[in-house]
Chains A and B, each alone.
Chain A
Amino acid sequence: SQQGEEDPQALSIQEGENATMNCSYKTSINNLQWYRQNSGRGLVHLILIRSNEREKHSGRLRVTLDTSKKSSSLLITASRAADTASYFCATVQYNNNDMRFGAGTRLTVKP
């Protein structure tokens, strides 16, 4: 069964705008990861945030984690057309090999 659920399912913005995607999950986690998938291709790891962290940055990416609300957000600043892709959150529970993925957010950045 899915653990993470992304919101919104689809997002369309103009180049230069910021894009925010949210992920909610159900059970306690060890860490949460965000992945990107270009159409029909393999997923690429973007960022990992551990349960004791609240915020992480990587280039134009900013990820927050609120364990009390069991939610995370991914912010892409100054978006580019090349950011068009699907974005997935994945949760990893303690002492568990399972990495559970949500259904993803489809981001379209218009030039």
Chain B
Amino acid sequence: EAQVTQNPRYLITVTGKKLTVTCSQNMNHEYMSWYRQDPGLGLRQIYYSMNVEVTDKGDVPEGYKVSRKEKRNFPLILESPSPNQTSLYFCASRTRVGETQYFGPGTRLLVL
């Protein structure tokens, strides 16, 4: 089944404790993105990647890192999480610019 998976689905952590949210897609998509969703703000892009070893900042990259060592995986790293990073995070992938995007199920993060 074609899908985007994320882990963990729910995470409670404390300020400053490094964490990684994994994302994997099995559709051989070149483009992958990370979004955060906050009430009233819609989805805002954090980082995106156009291919292996090619990443770029989105609208809200501060406090986040990503890597794209393999085509299928695009982990999101929070080196030192802060409470303002409490949010619902989505990973997404697509074949190329502008086409339909496939979303993961989301990761709900609470930073205390």
Contacts and interface: CB of A to CB of B under 8 A. Distances in A.
Interface of A: 1-2, 30-31, 33, 35, 40-45, 48, 88, 90, 92, 95-104
B31 interface: yes
Interface residues of B, number: 29
Given A2-B41, A101-B35, 12 more contacts: A2-B44, A41-B106, A42-B104, A43-B90, A44-B103, A92-B98, A96-B97, A99-B45, A99-B98, A100-B45, A103-B41, A104-B42
B102 A40 contact: no
B44 to A, nearest CB: 8
B93 to A, nearest CB: 12
Interface in B98-112: 98-106, 108
B92 to A, nearest CB: 8
The 6 closest A-B pairs by CB, nearest first: A42-B103, A101-B43, A103-B42, A92-B98, A101-B42, A43-B103
A85 to B, nearest CB: 13
A104 B4 CA distance: 22
B105 A41 contact: yes
A8 B106 CA distance: 25
A48 B100 contact: yes
B34 interface: no
Interface string B62-102: 00000000000000000000000000101010000111111
Nearest to A102: B42
Contacts of B100: 33, 45, 48
Contacts of A1: 59
A18 B28 CA distance: 38
Contacts of A40: 88, 106, 108
Nearest to A30: B98
A26 B39 CA distance: 22
Given A30-B98, A97-B50, A98-B45, A42 B40 contact: no
